[in-house]
Structure 1
Amino acid sequence: HDPITVRATRLKRGPKGWLEESAIIEFTKYAAFMAWSLGDMVDNWATFNEPMAVCEAGYMMGQSGFPPGVNSFMAAKKAAKNMVLAHAHAYNAIKRWDTIRADDDSPNSAFVGLIHNVIPAYPLREGEKVDVEASRFMDNLHNQFFPRAVTDGWLDENLNGIKEKNEMKGYLANHLDWLGVNYYTRFVIKGKRNLLAKLFAGIPAVPEIVPNYGFGCQPASQSADGRPASNMGWEIYPEGMLDALKSMAKFAKPLYITENGIADAEDNLRPKFLKDHIAVLKKAVEEEKIDVRGYFHWALTDNYEWARGFKMRFGLFAVDLQTKKRKKRKSAETYKRIIAEGVN
């Protein structure tokens, strides 16, 4: 998530991470070195994993546990702009320095993409204009801003969702070969009018993430809709994956589900989670004709989870942290059957 060294983020004295334009240069140099060093072994490249999570959680939600722990909407906007620029420069660097096709069936020697956490935003009250406007703002900020900038060249700096002439940056357009979609759950949004936010930040209605939906549930509980929630407190909402894919399909790039999974230590929810989400994926490909090239379940084994350590168990295989032994969960067999037989 955070491909930037600790030394580059010293908020009190010194560099300020993605708030520094020098971070763009350093990241581009890093991407060039990786392409030059590993180009004979790698054809598919991703510049960032979940850049908007870095910007929002790191620069706008200081208590999230994500570095560097800043609380500023303006800082998040600046970080997002700099990460867009860093992606575009890194894209060019990888194309220049990886000229060796590692695999004969690769589209080209450097197929450069981006992994994006897509969270569909739904209004709490569909008939309330303030909720609809707030959910659109949230969708524009979190889902549309980054891929739109590196495909269409529209850098929506004030995040008002209105295309303005000075926001069209031709040098950013066409800097994406494929797009990874990480999907876990949804946002349910309630809007609030704020004149200062509208005047100074271009926010038509301030979005509030409604608790007991999406990411805002109690761990291992039920959402306000009566849907089960994971050990992380994330509501299971498989139909949202179709909306996420539809939303990203308009950028006309091959799509991959690069993350989709659940924190479920007892493995009670994961088998059905797998079946339901892959059924939605099947519908997306077969009925909606969305160009999805692959699905990667998160995760093969229990892993380190940002800000939560090893407490959250996402793996198809359990890991004993003392002995490091792996043990197959029943959901691994479910996934094996789906791969072999498909899902109905």
Structure 2
Amino acid sequence: MVAKKPETVAKALGLRPDFVWGVSTSAYQVEGAVKEDGRGPSIWDIRCRLQGGVWNGATGDVACDHYHRWPEDVALMREIGVGAYRFSLAWPRLQPRGRGAVNQPGLDFYDRLIDGLLEAGIEPWVCLYHWDLPQALDDLGGWTNRDCAGWFADYAVVAAKRYGDRVKHWATFNEFSVFTMFGYAIDWAAPGVTDRSAHMKAIHHVNLAHGLGVDVVRDHVAGASIGAIHNRQIVRPEGGLEENVAAAELLSAHWNLVFVDPQHLGYYPAIVINDMEPHVRAGDMARICRPTDWIGLNHYGPIYAKADPATTWGYGWGAPPESANHPEVGWPIFPEVFRDELLELTRRYKMPIFVTENGCGGGKGSDEPDGAGEVKDTHRIAYFREYIKAMRDAAAAGADIRGYFVWSLLDNFEWGSGYGPRFGLLHVDFGTQKRTLKNSGKWYRDLIAGRHKGE
């Protein structure tokens, strides 16, 4: 069967003719080679080795060995047929101490990767920051230090000047809320701080860094398409109980609003303003609210909140309803929530949207090759069917959706969960590094090729 042209496929699905089908990864989760070619340590190297909090003592030391195996991975992307690959640059690989001298072998690695992608007909989408702050900067206070915004801008200059002749799609940050909340309020991620003031400082300084990064890329990359990637999920009170409503409202503000609102509307939500004001200086909001070209949405399912006075902010993660259908990693599958979020983003911010992460975890045998070497991950195919249909419904209702990136290309290091949950279209044997295209990868390949409409 001859594959249809991409614009024909998109039209058949009710999507834009220029709709982008892609896959996503991040540097620390796939690259490995953490001590090779001059790379400096990141806060995640330190957390994995010294702080604990990672399942089964896992580290990103080797991960998927993408640093060495990228040509194979690019060839597999081409086999799947994706038009774009979203990946992050490792700040400590480009600047081992986070500022000052650059690391030539690190620069050269991304040159090779970018050139290989372009040769394969795959558009490189670069994210400047996906959580791997150089440890040398964390020693100086990291994101609680206002100077970190300037250090980020300097790093962005290095990246934009080096790769801007070939890379036109840029994101400043991935999932602002996750790494600030779990790094500075709830000890689920590096650097493992739990302090209200630190959390608020980190939010504001990261927002400033975003604004500076937008301006850097705009100044140094001709024809750049610039955005930022936000995780957004509706937050519901656990059990619908009145005692959990206030917790859900504050968690929702910290999770869904404190980055997107100032970046696109120019102000912080009222519920957090008293906590934010001590850290905001004259002119800051104008520096944060810079013109961008799109919003990236990472979405999996709703969040349930409960009151928990023992936590930093008085909210904790609640449990979904027992009746909720969810994958083995534990979050509920509610495609209608995905549809509604796409419509709400369109209504509130009036920006083009790229779904920059969406996918389904698995484990306990559901993502392992059988005796014939086939990975029959039917749960993931079912997830894609439901969520892609919801995306199409949102587009039909007026959401300006321009692309969809699966998380993830590869089974990888999933932060605090180590190598337990698997999200990849490609199964990775972490002992041998053998890649196997799962049935979900074949399903996605056939969708892109126009062999089905997502049914």
- For normalisation by structure 2, the TM-score amounts to 0.62
The CA deviation at 1:112 is: 1.2
1:242–1:281 CA contact under 8 A, matched in 2: yes
- Residue identity matched to 1:124: E
What residue in structure 2 maps to residue 336 of structure 1? 445
What residue in structure 1 maps to residue 228 of structure 2? 114
1:64-89 residue CA offsets vs partner (Å, 9 max, x unmatched): 1x111001122111101000000001
1:193-247 residue CA offsets vs partner (Å, 9 max, x unmatched): x8xx9xxx9x8xx433212x2xxxxxxxxx51242332x2222222221232233
What percentage of aligned pairs have identical amino acids? Answer: 28
- Residue identity matched to 1:80: I
What residue in structure 2 maps to residue 207 of structure 1? 315
1:137–1:160 CA contact under 8 A, matched in 2: no
Please state if 1:49 is matched with 2:155. no
- Distance across 1 between alignment mates of 2:176 and 2:405: 19
1:19–1:78 CA contact under 8 A, matched in 2: yes
Check 1:226–1:118 CA distance in 2 against 1; reply closer, same or farther (3 A cut): closer
- Residue identity matched to 1:46: A
Where relative contact order (Cα < 8 A, 6+ residues apart) is larger, the structure is 2
- For normalisation by structure 1, the TM-score amounts to 0.81
- Distance across 2 between alignment mates of 1:81 and 1:296: 28
- Residue identity matched to 2:202: A
Please state if 1:276 is matched with 2:386. yes
Of 21, 30, 34, which residue of structure 1 is paired with 2:159?
34
Please show how residues 1-344 of structure 1 align to structure 2 within 5 Å. 1-10=130-139, 15-62=140-187, 64=188, 66-99=189-222, 109-124=223-238, 126=240, 128=242, 130-156=243-269, 159=272, 169-191=285-307, 206-211=314-319, 213=320, 224-230=322-328, 232-249=329-346, 250-265=348-363, 266=366, 267-286=377-396, 288-339=397-448, 340=450, 341-343=452-454
The CA deviation at 1:252 is: 1.2
- Distance across 2 between alignment mates of 1:323 and 1:55: 35
Q: Aligned to 2:386, what secondary structure does the other structure show?
A: helix
Check 1:20–1:92 CA distance in 2 against 1; reply closer, same or farther (3 A cut): same
- Distance across 2 between alignment mates of 1:2 and 1:173: 22
- Distance across 1 between alignment mates of 2:301 and 2:208: 28
What residue in structure 2 maps to residue 217 of structure 1? none
- Residue identity matched to 1:146: F
Q: Aligned to 2:259, what secondary structure does the other structure show?
A: helix
The CA deviation at 1:163 is: 12
What residue in structure 2 maps to residue 104 of structure 1? none
List structure 1 runs of 4+ shifted beyond 6 angstroms: 161-168
- Residue identity matched to 1:74: S
Check 1:343–1:136 CA distance in 2 against 1; reply closer, same or farther (3 A cut): same
Check 1:252–1:209 CA distance in 2 against 1; reply closer, same or farther (3 A cut): same
Q: Aligned to 1:248, what secondary structure does the other structure show?
A: helix
- Distance across 2 between alignment mates of 1:228 and 1:91: 37
**Greater fraction of residues in helix:** 2
- Residue identity matched to 2:431: Q
Structure 1 unaligned spans of 5+: 100-108, 214-222
The CA deviation at 1:137 is: 2.3
- Residue identity matched to 1:282: R
What residue in structure 2 maps to residue 216 of structure 1? none
- Distance across 2 between alignment mates of 1:313 and 1:207: 28
- Distance across 2 between alignment mates of 1:257 and 1:39: 23
2:295–2:351 CA contact under 8 A, matched in 1: yes
- Distance across 1 between alignment mates of 2:428 and 2:272: 42
- Residue identity matched to 1:96: D
- Distance across 1 between alignment mates of 2:292 and 2:204: 16
Q: Aligned to 2:411, what secondary structure does the other structure show?
A: coil
1:121–1:136 CA contact under 8 A, matched in 2: yes
1:68-119 residue CA offsets vs partner (Å, 9 max, x unmatched): 10011221111010000000011111111112xxxxxxxxx11111011112
- Residue identity matched to 2:318: V
The CA deviation at 1:291 is: 0.4
- Residue identity matched to 1:23: C
- Distance across 2 between alignment mates of 1:155 and 1:269: 39
1:152–1:174 CA contact under 8 A, matched in 2: no
